[in-house]
Structure formats: structure tokens, C-alpha cells
Amino acid sequence: MTHERGDATARFAVVGNPDNRRVILFTRAVREAGLPAPRVVPWESVLRDGGAGFADDELVRLDSPGEHTAVDRALRGADDPTRVEGGARWYAGFTAAVASLRGGVRLDDARELSVLFDKRRCHGVLAAAGVPVPASPTSGGAVAVRGWEDVRAVMAAHGMPRVFLKPAHGSSASGVVALESGGLGRLRATTSVEVTREGHLHNSLRLRRLTGEAEIAALVDALAPDGLHVERWWPKASLGGGRAADLRVVVVAGRATHAVVRTSRSPMTNLHLGGRRGDLAAAVEAAGPDAWAEALAVCERAAACFPRTLCVGVDLLPAVGWRRFAVAEVNAFGDLLPGLTGLPGTPAEGLDTYAAQVAAAPAWARRHRPEDGHAHRHVHGPADQHVNPDARTRRAPA
């Protein structure tokens, strides 16, 4: 497949942190498509000025506000970027900043972003659409988890001896706790969170294990005020010498276009926590053609829950045996996979994730432009609302 140059009349703008590699890689993809470099609007100026405006014909991409000290301080209220606390404040500030943007043809829908950055709401949307997901008592915000006692109660009530506790507005495994309970009151928690003498929570690049209930309870109680999402521990398939495996699958304009396997000997496969990239060909072979096609279809169904967002990254959990799959998360900014080209036979073959979006964006934007001519107005309902309200909920069995 030859490199698509896209629409020669397209004009892009990106809201991001100008020196961040995400913005740099996207800018390069736009220029390599033969288009003028995108206009970059810094998140710092959006927060300082109370918004930003765009021309009606600008294709506006929103990129992550992370990895910028001043922006993180404004959103989270903390000077140290490793701090875990402040997720609820970050979420409120980020969604308000997105809502303050005016005009343009958006490649990321504001109301869908508000769902994508709340794991409880996102899980509820996926489950209601019939997308297989791990069972969760907090799906859609049905149950509030206010601390350790609530966690113990929902684990017992739902027969979940092993769960993942996820901060509702976290990312990159920030604040995630993999919790296991056994007979005689035995507990084990695996997490990258460290607690300082002052009681502050910080992310570390090193996973550690806690076995004392008092220590685990203190950690959960400290995480809970920002909101917690609880999911049944999914029994992952293995690959490459018994390493647990999952996948990040990028979906662009409704098509699964890129995939990477992540493997680890710990419950977390994130590369910055010691995970490794696995052999995608080996994963495809382990699944077989029918199951692999189903895996990609599941990711596309998950992305279809957010039809007004051009690109999402789906975290896909293969079950033991590589025949069943569940969606762990859908990420709004899940396309940072430098150098990875698209899957064979897809429109992104030979293109990286950014070039694929540049090629797809003009036609996608024309299909999603509101009919009233005001490109910045969203005439469809939020992601929580579904075209088919009678869709049967289907959670994948544990």
C-alpha cells in the first residue's frame, strides 16, 4: 500500500504541549503528508486564557496535557509530576479546559472525552453496548468506593477474591493496585505507588508488594477520595516463556489499524514498569485467524462507543488460551507507539499511528461535521447515551 497523502486542502491544529514528543510526531506526520504544519495551541495558554478559538475549517486534534510541569500544576494542584493524588481535580480542570475550546472541526469529542477519562463511566458505556469487559461492581458509578472497608465489602459481596483497583481518572497505571485475597485473611497488593513520610502518594518505576492489611488499607484509603474503580482480575493469556500478555490496539476512524503486545511477569504490563514488547506474530498465531479477527472486532466495537472521536487506544485482555477477549480500558491518548506501522491489509499499512490519522481525518471529519454548519457544536448525545438502549449488557466471564 502506498503512502496516502490525504486531502491537500486540510488544515490541522493541535492543542498540546509544544515540546512534547506527541505533538512533534504528529507535526512531522502532517508535514510528510504534504500539508502545512499544524497550528499548535499550548495547553498552558488555554488554561491561562480561559480557552482558545479555531477557524471553522481547522481540523482540531487534542493531545495529552501530560509531561508538562506547569500544566500539571494547574490541573492537579501539585508541583511534583510523580504525585498520584489530585485525579478528581485534574479531571475537573481538564474537562473544563476542553469545554472552553471554540470552533473548529473536532477530532476528539468533548463529551466522549469526559467518559473516556472516568473509568467507571467508560466501563458502564462499554458494558451497556455489549462489549466484553471484566465484571465490575463500580461500573457506571453504580457503587461508590470510599475506602478499604468498601473494597472488602464489594469483593465479598461479588465473589471477587482478586481485583484490580484503579483510580477513576488515572492513566499509565498511576495508582493502580492489583489486590489478591486468600484463606486465613492473607492479602497481597502489587502497586507502583509509594507513600512518603508525609503521607503523600507517588508513582515509582518499581513495583512493590504489600502484605500487611494495615498498610494496604492505608494505601486504599488514601487513593479513594479521588474515586476508585474495581474490576475482577482477568486471567490473562501468556506468551514468550510464561509471561502474562495483553495488547494495545489503536483504532482509527473505526478500523483497528495498529497493535502491540505487552508482556510481563507482574500483573502490570506497562513498559515503564518493566513490561516488554512481545511478538505480535506469535500472539496472532496463538489466537488463530478466527480468534484474532474477533479480537480486532472487539476493539472496533469498543471504539464505536465513541463515534465522534477519530482515534482511541484499546487495552485488550486475552484470556488463557487466546480464544476470549475483554476490554480493560479505552484510552483517548493511546496512540503513542513510535515507529509502529499499521497492520497488513488495513488502511494504515505502512503508516505510523499519526500518519494514519492524518490520512483518515479529512474524510472522517466530513462525515462527522454537524449539519447546522457550526463545526464546533456537538449535536449528538454524550457517549453515555446509545442508539440502541435495549442492547444487552454482556460482561465476559471471569
pLDDT at 205 over 70: yes
Percent of the residues in the chain that have a pLDDT greater than 70, as a whole number: 91
- How does DSSP assign 354-386, residue by residue? HHHHHHHHHHHHHHHS-TTS-TT---SPPTTS-
What gap in Å lies between CA 240 and CA 261, rounded to an integer?
11
**Average pLDDT of the chain, as a whole number:** 90
pTM more than 0.85:
yes
pLDDT at 19 over 50: yes
pLDDT at 347 over 70: yes
Tens-digit pLDDT profile for residues 48-104 = 999 999 999 999 999 999 999 999 999 998 778 788 889 999 999 999 999 999 999
Tens-digit pLDDT profile for residues 289-343 = 999 999 999 999 999 999 999 999 999 999 999 999 999 999 999 999 999 999 9
pLDDT at 368 over 70: yes
377: Cα separation from own chain's centroid: 24
List Cβ neighbours of 241 (8 Å cut-off, separation of 6 or more): none
Place of cell 456537538: 378
In this prediction, residue 216 carries a pLDDT of 96
Integer-rounded Cα radius of gyration of the chain: 21
What gap in Å lies between CA 230 and CA 177, rounded to an integer?
10
Question: CA of 40: how far to CAs of 30, 73, 83, 109, in Å?
Answer: 12, 21, 28, 18
List Cβ neighbours of 168 (8 Å cut-off, separation of 6 or more): 87, 88, 91, 118, 119, 120, 226, 227, 228, 229
What is the mean pLDDT of the segment spanning 380-390?
A: 42
What gap in Å lies between CA 92 and CA 211, rounded to an integer?
34
Write phi, then psi, for 262 (nearest 5 degrees): -120, 135
